[in-house]
A and B are shown apart, each in its own frame.
Chain A
Amino acid sequence: MRILVLTKPVPDPAAGSERLGSDLRLDRAASPTVVNGNDEYALEAALQLVEAHGGEVAIMSMAAPNATDTMRKALAMGALRGVLVTDPALAGADIPTTVRVLAAATAKETFDLLLAGLDTSDGTGGAVAAGIAARLGLPLLSAAAAIEPDPAGGTVRVRRLSARGYDLIEAPMPAVVSCTQALGAPRYPSLKGIMAARSREITVLGLGDLEADLSPADGAWATRVIAADPPPARAAGRVISAPAPEAAREIADFLADRRLI
């Protein structure tokens, strides 16, 4: 099997240093970057699938030129090669732009499965995988908690998280799967993996290398940030100080009013 995993370098949520730049977009230089959490679950699932079925895992990122450092960590986990799509014109790209560029870049690759995190911790748009599937005309299996390909039959089954539990959905391959934490914790790169990753190839592509359906009018400039305000301060909490049975009833009513129970 050939599996391509989209791995986005994002500001390290643990560093707590995310901030907006003067253009009101995320200042990516302000934080150390890590591989997006949901993408790591996707990568771990991909590695387990090729361990079980044979094949290879490649990764792709659309990011700044220095993203190769973060991509090395994904390579150290076991991906064999990487593709970095980078272009100054893509700084601050919005979701439609990202989808167009990544669809054009993934179209150059051969894969049975294209995996991506359900969303990314910086943008949280959650629409890129679906957008790529739509542009490539491939089936989308979303919110995967388990991925079970049948390489001989050319199909893949996914357990999709749903409000009721799981939906079992199946599609012919190649297919796009968006991945969740339920797939299981990513492995730590082994020291040999880390050393091997230093010499693995990362192909760098610019917009000129892609047949992306892009024009300046709908490129990174398509969205403008007009203003950015901090979230409103949290209102003071409500303290219930009634005796226990009464307090319990009040809390239950409070939750029921909000359809939380």
Chain B
Amino acid sequence: MAAVSTNPPVHGSIRLTEDQILLRDAVRELAQEQVAPRAADIDRAAEWPEDMRRLLAAQDIFGIAFAERHGGLGADLLTLCLAIEELSRACATTGLILAVQSLGAIPIQVAGSDEQQERWLPGLATGEKLISFGLTEAEAGSDASAVRTRAERDGDEYVINGGKRFISHASVADYVVVFAVTNPEAEKPSRRMSAILVETDRPGFKVTRLEHKMGIRGSPTAELAFDNVRVPVGNRLGDEGRGFSVAMQTFERSRPGIAAQAVGIAQGALDAAAQYATERRQRGKPIAELQMIQAMLADMDAATEAARHLLYTACQEIDAGAPDAARWAAICKLVAGDAAMRVTTDAVQVFGGYGYVDEYPVERMMRDAKITQLYEGTQQIQRLVVARALLAKRS
């Protein structure tokens, strides 16, 4: 195989296990050699990169965070995040393929019965099947309890009506985990929803629109309509009325994946900026010799490394069952998303005018970084989660 053109820094290895390093390095090599050369085209074409999905499937990368009994590698959350980080460093859209598969699978992993897990997880672990996560609606974004999509019981079936918006990969997925109101009379808004797995070939399921986005342009973001979609009651994940809780438990394990995407994007931008600074000459010398450039690069490195180590610690805390897992998940996404935005913005600055045009990858990375401050809870929602956890200890 072709030689890796850059010498990646040996970062983040201090507390990683041998297995984590082995798997990270394998994904890194694959990402640099096979994914990075596709990134600009994926962005330009704004088309789902089926070739990247097949690559992740062929190399067992989809299987990382699935149990061995379901055909996965049985690795931990940190290993999954290492893979998302390395893929996103090359191409944020490709990193997101892995992050969304995990986001959709977590409700099955945390709330599904053994039978449901055996039915759906093996196909997801190989990447033969894709899944997405359908919570957000046009009028229910940060306020997830405002979901209006209805699932009415009719014998052994639910009949689903309503719509979803901003659902990543729903147009290419085989399943969508849909959060719908099953108990409208419940006193607490958080007890009104259930999580229901909907196969996307069910009659009445429609993709009504794909968004035209600023970044992660190869990742389709769908608007969905449910018109009397009938699914068996056996497709419900967890107890009736506990959908909100399933969603929140899911975010505890999925937000680190977005933090990993953010760290990867930041590292990719730093790699590009540092390389460019040594090549670009002004006034007879490389701009890397200018202290103002050096200061920017140093700050970018520090911000990226700080976010990375917070992410790794968060993964370890969450996997260890820390009682404040939601806080760790929110903190790492908050810090990493902001770091990615700042680092990519500064990367464009290092490139000057060349950074603003698509001849170089940093303008794409800056556009891609922005989404990490928005999805799976805006940065404002992360702060809310952190503040609640912080203040709960004191009241």
Contacts and interface: CB of A to CB of B under 8 A. Distances in A.
A190 B1 contact: no
Main secondary structure of the interface of B (DSSP, over half): helix
A191 B19 contact: no
A191 B26 contact: yes
A76 B30 CA distance: 14
Interface string A155-196: 000000000000000000000000000000110111111110
Contacts of B36: none
A192 B60 contact: yes
A13 interface: yes
A15 interface: yes
Contacts of B34: 188
A195 B1 contact: no
Interface in A188-211: 188-195, 198
A226 interface: no
A193 to B, nearest CB: 8
A191 B1 contact: no
A195 B19 contact: yes
Given A14-B3, A185-B1, A190 B29 contact: no
B395 interface: no
Contacts of B64: 191
Contact of A188 (B3, B59, B73): B59
Interface in B52-68: 58-61, 63-64
Contacts of A189: 26
Contact of B63 (A185, A188, A192, A198): A192
Interface size class of A (residues with CB under 8 A): 10 to 19
B293 interface: no
Contacts of A188: 1, 26, 29-30, 34, 59
Interface in B243-293: none
B19 A190 contact: no
A191 B60 contact: yes
A193 B7 CA distance: 24
Given A195-B19, A195-B73, A190 B60 contact: yes
A133 to B, nearest CB: 28
A191 B59 contact: yes
A191 B23 contact: yes
B31 to A, nearest CB: 11
A186 B1 contact: yes
B357 interface: no
Interface in A74-95: 76
Contacts of A194: 22-23, 26
A112 B55 CA distance: 33
Contacts of B61: 191
B4 interface: yes
Contacts of A195: 19, 22-23, 73
Interface in A36-53: 40
Nearest to A195: B73
Interface in B8-35: 19, 22-23, 26-27, 29-30, 34
A190 B127 CA distance: 14
A13 B23 CA distance: 23
Nearest to A13: B3
Nearest to A14: B3
Contacts of B26: 76, 188-189, 191, 194
Q: Which of B30, B59, B61, B73 has the most CB of A within 10 A?
A: B59
Nearest to B4: A14
A210 to B, nearest CB: 32
Contacts of A15: 7
Contacts of B7: 15
A40 B73 CA distance: 26
Nearest to A40: B1
Interface in A209-251: none
Interface string B38-76: 000000000000000000001111011000000001000
Contacts of B22: 194-195, 198
Interface of A: 12-15, 40, 76, 185-186, 188-195, 198
12 contacts: A14-B5, A188-B34, A188-B59, A189-B26, A190-B58, A190-B60, A191-B27, A191-B60, A193-B60, A195-B73, A198-B19, A198-B22
Given A190-B59, A191-B73, A198-B19, 9 more contacts: A13-B3, A40-B1, A76-B26, A188-B26, A188-B29, A191-B26, A192-B60, A192-B73, A194-B22
List the 10 shortest-distance A-B pairs measured between CB atoms, nearest first. Answer: A14-B3, A191-B60, A190-B60, A192-B60, A190-B59, A194-B26, A188-B30, A191-B23, A194-B22, A191-B73
Interface of B: 1, 3-5, 7, 19, 22-23, 26-27, 29-30, 34, 58-61, 63-64, 73
